């Protein structure tokens, strides 16, 4: 009830704000909105997600998903994920892969009029490296300004994925970066900060100093509403874009069109890969004797009907998932498992010695019963529904999976010895390394199943050591499946990836949002990635 009241309050605020911005009287009064005003609309109100808890400081992680908005990056990716220049005019990587030299534009100014130089880049990366934030710059030995517009990064060892940090880390001004920066950011991006009312709204305006293509809209107001509130605001005609869940997607809203954007925002089941008996340093149990059997993992991957999950749980707004990075340049399409095949799955289990010896419908192998728990975060409706539906699909195979919702605190103690329904999805292939390398077992939420394969490790290490993306991507693909082994479902199958969620938005019928890229994990801010392409049409 409180949530609904807050949504109505925000809608009222938006109505008043809109009238103040445009100088119009209420919609019920004569002359509220003229055709001329619609044609020349240059302000947007967006309800696309929650605000960042830590504010708008790239050295603390702001901007990793989508554009930093206020700040520019050295490089960026186009709609086909090709590397293109932003602040940089060129870059070079030494033959040994250790030295990255970046050449900067000489015409860039921050929104306060100060020039952006190599010293700002050095300051940004040094600050990010020491921030203790989600930005992992441990691979960087040092960063130096060769001259006013040339920066040199030296790595401790070759790492091809370092390029991702150059595409996602917004550059901050050394002269204006202090303890208040996250709340009042200054940058060289297409928009400049105006006002942040925490918990309510963020207002930005076009940055007149911006060196790139100027946005079509002079002002953007981001309102922070929950899913119910965003949908209510869209129905009331008070926002131009609203992020919504699939449960609202089939309800028509006058004046709005539904835009569904593909994503690698995936959901999948991680299996404990090793047998039980081990303990973490904290004393948490490691391993599971049921899921340690490759026949169990492979049969589940073969028997689950991913398309039915998309249609039933996501109401058609998604795609079947076969990996953590479907559709990315480093994805191996040979990992795709065709439509569910229950008979083949049963055959895999029978050949591995699993049989129903007592007639209860659950298979056994020796004294081990084909039964395990699937954990999911309590309160996450989609993960709960996926866990229940996947468990239902396993029963005809003779596998009894038991869905259990837990708090994240509970999950962190149980995730090394039980299957877990996780969500991932990134623009960085390093995510694959983190999830599947034997070097990352038990590190946070990475590789909690303790998966390891020396051949996979070798491929991924070669991918990291490559000096260009083309070579690196070939090794990433082999790590997934080389025709004999790999970490995909056709190989060791330490995961059963289920679905990729479409990100859904209600968008004003007159607003053309261009061609957004496939979006990463996290609904909302990635929407701003191509915001300079947006146009108002009539």
DSSP for 276-319 reads S-EE-TT--EE--TTTTSHHHHHHHHHH--HHHHHHHTSTT-EE
Q: What is the pLDDT of residue 16?
A: 39
* Protein fold of 266-501: Dipeptide-binding Protein; domain 3 (3.10.105)
Q: What is the pLDDT of residue 53?
A: 84
Q: What is the pLDDT of residue 80?
A: 86
Q: What is the pLDDT of residue 13?
A: 45
Q: How many CA atoms lie within 13 A of 395 on its CB side?
A: 8
Domain at 2-262+502-536, CATH homologous superfamily: Periplasmic binding protein-like II (3.40.190.10)
The answer to whether 518 and 327 have CB atoms below 8 angstroms apart is yes
The first and second tokens of residue 273, run together, are 């890969």
Helix (H, G, I), strand (E, B) or coil at 142: strand
Q: How far apart are CA 45 and CA 31, in angstroms?
A: 21
Average pLDDT, the chain: 91
Specify the domain boundaries for CATH 3.10.105.10 within the chain: 266-501
Q: How far apart are CA 484 and CA 341, in angstroms?
A: 21
Specify the domain boundaries for CATH 3.40.190.10 within the chain: 2-262+502-536
Q: What is the pLDDT of residue 338?
A: 81
Helix (H, G, I), strand (E, B) or coil at 404: strand
Q: For residue 128, what is the DSSP state? A: H
Q: What is the pLDDT of residue 462?
A: 97
The answer to whether 310 and 497 have CB atoms below 8 angstroms apart is no
The first and second tokens of residue 57, run together, are 């400081």
The stretches of 323-468 forming alpha helices (DSSP H) are: 342-351, 381-394, 408-414, 430-436, 454-465
Q: How far apart are CA 431 and CA 266, in angstroms?
A: 13
Q: How far apart are CA 37 and CA 21, in angstroms?
A: 12
Q: How far apart are CA 234 and CA 232, in angstroms?
A: 5
Q: What is the pLDDT of residue 538?
A: 80
Cβ contacts of 234 within 8 Å, gap of 6 or more? 47, 242, 244, 253, 256, 506
Q: How far apart are CA 60 and CA 39, in angstroms?
A: 40
Q: Which residues of the chain have pLDDT under 70?
A: 1-40, 66, 522-524
Q: How far apart are CA 318 and CA 500, in angstroms?
A: 5
């Amino acid at each position: 009830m409180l949530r609904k009241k807050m949504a109505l309050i925000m809608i009222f605020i938006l109505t008043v704000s809109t009238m103040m911005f445009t100088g119009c009287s209420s919609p019920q009064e004569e002359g509220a909105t003229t055709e001329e005003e619609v044609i020349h609309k240059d302000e947007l109100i967006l309800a696309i997600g929650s605000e960042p808890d830590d504010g708008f400081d790239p050295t603390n992680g702001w901007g990793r998903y989508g554009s930093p908005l206020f700040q520019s990056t050295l490089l960026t990716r186009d709609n086909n994920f090709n590397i293109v220049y932003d602040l940089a005019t060129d870059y070079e990587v030494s033959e040994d892969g250790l030295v990255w030299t970046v050449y900067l534009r000489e015409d860039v100014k921050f929104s306060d009029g100060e020039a952006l130089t190599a010293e700002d880049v050095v300051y940004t990366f040094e600050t990010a490296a020491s921030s203790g934030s989600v930005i992992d710059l441990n691979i960087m030995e040092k960063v130096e300004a060769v001259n006013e517009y040339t920066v040199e990064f030296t790595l401790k060892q070759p790492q091809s994925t370092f390029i991702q940090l150059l595409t996602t880390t917004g550059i901050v001004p050394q002269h204006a970066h202090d303890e208040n920066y996250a709340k009042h950011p200054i940058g060289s991006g297409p928009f400049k900060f105006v006002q942040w009312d925490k918990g309510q709204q963020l207002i930005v305006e076009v940055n007149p100093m911006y060196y790139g293509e100027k946005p079509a809209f002079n002002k953007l107001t981001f309102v922070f509403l929950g899913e119910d509130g965003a949908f209510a605001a869209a129905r009331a005609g008070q926002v131009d874009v609203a992020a919504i869940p699939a449960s609202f997607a089939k309800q028509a809203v006058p004046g709005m069109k539904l835009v569904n954007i593909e994503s690698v925002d995936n959901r999948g089941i991680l299996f404990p890969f090793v047998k039980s008996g081990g303990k973490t340093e904290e004393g948490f149990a490691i391993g599971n004797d049921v899921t340690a059997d490759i026949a169990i993992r492979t049969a589940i991957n073969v028997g689950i009907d991913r398309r039915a999950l998309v249609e039933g749980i996501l109401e058609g707004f998604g795609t079947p998932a076969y990996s953590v990075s479907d559709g990315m340049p480093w994805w191996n399409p040979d990992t795709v498992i065709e439509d569910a095949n229950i008979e083949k799955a049963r055959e895999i289990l029978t050949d591995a010695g699993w049989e129903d010896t007592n007639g209860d419908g659950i298979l056994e192998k020796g004294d081990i019963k084909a039964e395990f728990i699937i954990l999911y975060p309590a309160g996450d409706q989609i993960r709960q529904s996926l866990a229940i539906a996947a468990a239902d699909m396993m029963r005809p195979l003779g596998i009894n999976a038991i869905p259990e919702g837990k708090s994240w605190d509970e999950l962190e103690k149980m995730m090394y010895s039980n299957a877990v329904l996780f969500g991932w999805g990134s623009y960085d292939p390093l995510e694959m390394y983190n999830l599947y390398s034997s070097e990352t077992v038990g590190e946070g939420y990475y590789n909690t199943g303790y998966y390891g394969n020396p051949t996979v490790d070798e491929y991924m290490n070669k991918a990291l050591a490559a000096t260009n993306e083309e070579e690196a991507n070939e090794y990433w693909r082999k790590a997934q499946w080389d025709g004999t082994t790999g970490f995909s479902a056709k190989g060791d199958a330490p995961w059963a990836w289920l679905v990729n969620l479409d990100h859904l938005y209600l968008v004003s019928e007159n607003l053309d949002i261009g061609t957004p890229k496939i979006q990463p994990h996290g609904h909302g801010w990635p929407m701003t990635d191509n915001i300079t392409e947006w146009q108002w049409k009539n």
